[in-house]
């Protein structure tokens, strides 16, 4: 959970919001992955990131947004009656993999991982209580080079550092977000189609005391 430097609300507000939001998000079946509070003009921006094993749809994000907005409306006095903007989103692929559940939710995806100062590239094969199995790939450092399989490597949580998902335009079959792959006609050289989940799904609610 984080609070930007200079936020009017400060760390106390972030801690208070986390205490309010975590039970609501948990009861709805999600994990509260991040919470950020910062000042934006005369308003307070509250950014919340949620996730779960089966993935998060736009409808899910909207549902959580409404529930958290109700919490903020009920607790306005404790927030100093400041107008607020609530932004709820799912994690984008740029979210670091730092917890076992992050790795578990990305089985089948290509990642980079830091292991004892070494940078590995591989596909997440499996995740359990002991660690992660990666199907390591070598090469591909230069443009035009193709990475080649280098075998599976078992990494314990103790030796595994931060991981990062690599953007791919084809999801492995059976992955939880395989349905987000564009299945239409092949794109021309000038087409610029973004992978739908690269930046996560986002819903923003704008509210203030007395506003409907």
Over residues 31-46, the pLDDT tens digits come to 999 999 988 888 889 9
pTM: 0.68
**In the chain, what percentage of residues exceed pLDDT 70?**
67
For 117-162, how does the pLDDT look when each residue is reduced to its tens digit (9 = 90+)?
A: 889 999 999 999 999 999 999 876 566 667 788 899 999 999 999 9
Q: Which domains does the chain possess?
A: 2-92+198-207 (3.30.300.70), 100-180 (2.30.30.100)
8 A C-beta contact, residue 119 and residue 186:
no
* Token couple for 92: 């984008």
Between CA 107 and CA 69 the distance in angstroms is 33
Over range 192-207, report the average pLDDT. Answer: 51
- Cα four-point dihedral sign 96, 199, 4, 27: negative
The DSSP line for the chain is: -EE-TT-SSHHHHHHHHHHHHHHHHHHTT-EEEEEEEEEETTEEEEEEEEE-TT---HHHHHHHHHHHHHHHHHTGGGGTT--EEEEEEPPPTTS-B-SHHHHHTTTTSEEEEEETTEEEEEEEEEE-SSEEEEEEEE---STT---EEEEEEEEETTTEEEEEEPP-SSPPTT-TTGGGS--SSPPPTT--PPPTTTT--EEEEEE-TT--
pLDDT digits (tens, 9 = 90+) for 87-111: 999 998 888 999 999 999 999 999 9
Q: What count of residues does the chain have?
A: 212
């Amino acid at each position: 959970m984080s609070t930007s430097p200079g936020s009017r609300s400060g760390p106390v507000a972030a801690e208070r919001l986390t205490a309010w939001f975590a039970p609501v998000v948990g009861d709805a079946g999600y994990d509260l992955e991040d919470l950020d509070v910062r000042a934006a003009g005369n308003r307070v921006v509250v950014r919340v990131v949620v996730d779960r094993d089966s993935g998060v749809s736009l409808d899910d994000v909207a549902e959580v947004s409404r529930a958290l907005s109700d919490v903020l409306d009920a607790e306005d006095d404790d927030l100093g009656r400041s107008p607020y903007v609530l932004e709820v989103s799912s994690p984008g692929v740029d979210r670091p993999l730092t917890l076992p559940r992050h790795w578990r939710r990305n089985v089948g995806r290509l990642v980079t991982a830091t292991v004892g100062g070494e940078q590995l590239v591989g596909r997440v094969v499996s995740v359990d209580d002991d660690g992660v199995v990666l199907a390591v790939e070598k090469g591909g450092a230069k443009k035009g080079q193709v990475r080649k399989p280098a075998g599976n490597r078992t990494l314990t949580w103790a030796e595994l550092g931060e991981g990062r998902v690599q953007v791919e335009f084809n999801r492995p079959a059976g992955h939880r977000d395989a349905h987000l792959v564009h299945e239409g006609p092949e794109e021309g050289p000038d087409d610029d189609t973004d992978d739908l989940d690269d930046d996560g799904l986002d819903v923003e609610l704008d509210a203030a005391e007395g506003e409907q």
